[in-house]
Structure 1
Amino acid sequence: MELQNILVTSRMYKELESIIEKEDKRGKAFRYVDEKHIKDEDLRWADAYVSFYPVENFAFHQLKWVHSLGAGVDRYVQLDSWKEDVLLTRTVCSFGERMSEYCLSYMLSELQYHDAFQKAQNKKKWQPLEPILLSTQKVVIYGTGEIGQAIAEMLKQFGVHVTGVSRSGTRNQRFHQVVTAGDEASYLQEADWIINTLPLTPETNHMFNAEWMNILQSAYFINVGRGATVDAVALIEAINKRKIKKAFLDVFEVEPLPESDMLWEHKNIVITPHISAVTTPEEAVACFLDTLDRIEADKPLENKVDLNRGY
């Protein structure tokens, strides 16, 4: 595939421009535009589109390639119609490492009783509690792709027992076992922690609903996948029933999370503003340029999106 006119748009388009102009010697024509100011003529000019998501007036026109600056591509896949001859790729960088450290930080905080000791300190009370070892924990990770594997590999180093859940149930050495989605009930009942890394697809939309949550036995829940995979009303009810001990949410069905949303107020929900796996300009450019080189050299693409699967 030969590409010449590349449209780059995002909230950090100036940072991307600065890095690309320093590193790129490929002789391509680039156009850098704030995502709020994309015009139809920009889209008609381009044969490649680089952004976190499609802008409101997005149209394919002469596009051959669309590259997502993030790992998630649900906004692209959910477009009314996708031109079959347009390639879709996504950014792959340190997301697995970042999400692993995000999950580990909250696991240790709970197991080491950080909140309890802080409250005791504020009251000037000496109240010993015995920290819980990571090696005693059982974790179920939904999604056995790159991110799920990275989290599993990190946790196994601490002696954590890790079960993966995937569509196929294909065995993976980074997990102690992998089970097919729908066959994981017995593992959920024994789980101390459940971590969601799933993309948003028609199959995963509100997958974590009341029926699913009723299986749990007071487990912690971490969502670093997609917000719409979780039924928020059912989640709050499950926490109130102690089916879920505490939830750590980095992604939401509507972002930014509206001030009126009931999730803000719950004492057993921790909210972070979609920061578990940020895309830095440097990593975004590195992945983009590597993908560009591979496309033009007709080399295999590990970050190519399967439009039928939605990831």
Structure 2
Amino acid sequence: MRRPIVCVLSEVPKLTEELKRRCAHNCDKIVSISPKDVQQEDRLLLKEADIIVSDPNFAHLWLNGLHNLKFVHGTWAGADRLMRLVQEQNVTPQFPYCRFAGRFGQAISEYVISYIVAQERNFRKVYEAEAECKWSQEIREHIVQKTRNLDKLSIGILGVGDIGKCVAKMCKTFGMTVWGMVTSLPEENACQYVDEYRTGSDIDSILSNCDYLCSILPSTPKTRGLFDGDRFKACSSKQPVFMNVGRGDICSEQSILNALQQGWIRAAILDVLPEEPLPSSSLLWKHPNVTITPHCSALSLPDEVASLISENIENYMLDRPLKYVIDWSKGY
């Protein structure tokens, strides 16, 4: 097998340099193309490319008409933008698409645990008091009266894939009771860190039994709008904290605000939103029980992205199965 030509269409900083450092020996050439300023010579390079490394939002540049293409490697975990384009064009690509996966679990697990601890120990008030140089007896009383140690808490992880299993392990390490929502109940090889499994049809049993809910769900036709309407009403017995580190379109802004107003959930920690960037006019910014972070629970770091891509290029050269290939029919 001849060595492939690789074209890089990405805004991940220094990704091309990392790829050259790691896998130049396996490639005929690795070239970077500015995805926002594609020239005629760049289009000729794309037509020659065996492998394209691309951020999903540049899929329009390679989704059709590149007959030499063997596979595309993404630089993000999610493929929802790509799948929307596939659905709009009503095409099924004839090449594999590999997600950037298997590297986000540690970072997202740290995010989840950090914000659970921050929520339980009321760090927001701590920071406010510190800014005012105030030794707050109120905060001390809150810790005594209301703080719960993690080994007294339960968490429902919605989506127990690679990332969800890492989150489950971290939460179990701190003594939490872990519930997991999956597509189908595992008959074998169940995650040892999940105490209770439920399918989506039985999601209400997770909502009614957990102190925290952590969504790691992808964006698919089945998950979009999953928590719209009064779905959060099932949470009213436990009033959990809702965390979203998956995709923002599983619930609308209004559904979250309504759930908070009704007391169905007691707080929301949102790393992903239905609209990003979140407009300054959004009521979520001002809500006292909402924490917003700018989609940063895990980021595509150039060395980690290049590591997985170089592994898959080697798999391709040795005719081994590629890792993290999406199912075009499922969208993940």
Tell me the TM-score normalized by structure 2: 0.87
C-alpha deviations, 1:152-180, integer Å up to 9, x for none? 01101111000000111224322112111
Alignment of 1:217-256 (within 5 A): 217=236, 218-256=239-277
User: Quick one: which amino acid aligns to residue 58 of structure 2?
Assistant: V
- List alignment gaps of at least 5 residues for structure 2: none
The offset of 1:215, in angstroms, is 0.9
**1: CA distance, partners of 2:280 / 2:54:** 27
C-alpha deviations, 1:37-70, integer Å up to 9, x for none? 2354443332322112142742332222111111
The partner residue of 1:281 within 302, 317, 325 is 302
Aligned length: 310
**2: CA distance, partners of 1:3 / 1:309:** 31
Match status 1:47 vs 2:50:
yes
The partner residue of 1:141 within 157, 174, 193 is 157
The partner residue of 1:64 within 65, 70, 81 is 70
The offset of 1:146, in angstroms, is 0.3
The offset of 1:82, in angstroms, is 4.2
**2: CA distance, partners of 1:257 / 1:2:** 47
C-alpha deviations, 1:162-210, integer Å up to 9, x for none? 0000111224322112111121312311211000001100111111112
Query: Is contact 1:120–1:126 with CA below 8 Å preserved after alignment?
Result: no
Match status 1:76 vs 2:87:
no
The offset of 1:32, in angstroms, is 0.2
**1: CA distance, partners of 2:3 / 2:227:** 41
User: Quick one: which amino acid aligns to residue 89 of structure 1?
Assistant: C
Tell me the TM-score normalized by structure 1: 0.92
- State the partner residue of 1:126: 137
- State the partner residue of 1:199: 218
Query: Is contact 2:241–2:267 with CA below 8 Å preserved after alignment?
Result: yes
**2: CA distance, partners of 1:112 / 1:309:** 40
User: Quick one: which amino acid aligns to residue 72 of structure 2?
Assistant: V
Query: Is contact 1:210–1:235 with CA below 8 Å preserved after alignment?
Result: no
- State the partner residue of 2:193: 174
**2: CA distance, partners of 1:216 / 1:225:** 19
User: Quick one: which amino acid aligns to residue 26 of structure 1?
Assistant: N
How large is the Cα RMSD of the aligned pairs? 2.0
C-alpha deviations, 1:94-139, integer Å up to 9, x for none? 3000000001011001112223344555454423232311011011
Name which of structure 1's ranges 177-186 and 142-151 shifts more when overlaid on structure 2.
177-186
The offset of 1:22, in angstroms, is 2.3
User: Quick one: which amino acid aligns to residue 60 of structure 1?
Assistant: N
User: Quick one: which amino acid aligns to residue 177 of structure 1?
Assistant: E
**2: CA distance, partners of 1:100 / 1:27:** 35
User: Quick one: which amino acid aligns to residue 51 of structure 2?
Assistant: A
**2: CA distance, partners of 1:179 / 1:93:** 23
Query: Is contact 2:20–2:30 with CA below 8 Å preserved after alignment?
Result: no
Name which of structure 1's ranges 64-73 and 30-39 shifts more when overlaid on structure 2.
30-39
Query: Is contact 2:284–2:290 with CA below 8 Å preserved after alignment?
Result: yes
Name which of structure 1's ranges 131-140 and 78-87 shifts more when overlaid on structure 2.
78-87
Match status 1:16 vs 2:8:
no
The offset of 1:76, in angstroms, is 1.7
- State the partner residue of 2:103: 94
Match status 1:159 vs 2:158:
no
User: Quick one: which amino acid aligns to residue 254 of structure 1?
Assistant: E
% same residue: 29
**2: CA distance, partners of 1:25 / 1:266:** 53
**2: CA distance, partners of 1:173 / 1:71:** 24
**1: CA distance, partners of 2:44 / 2:274:** 32
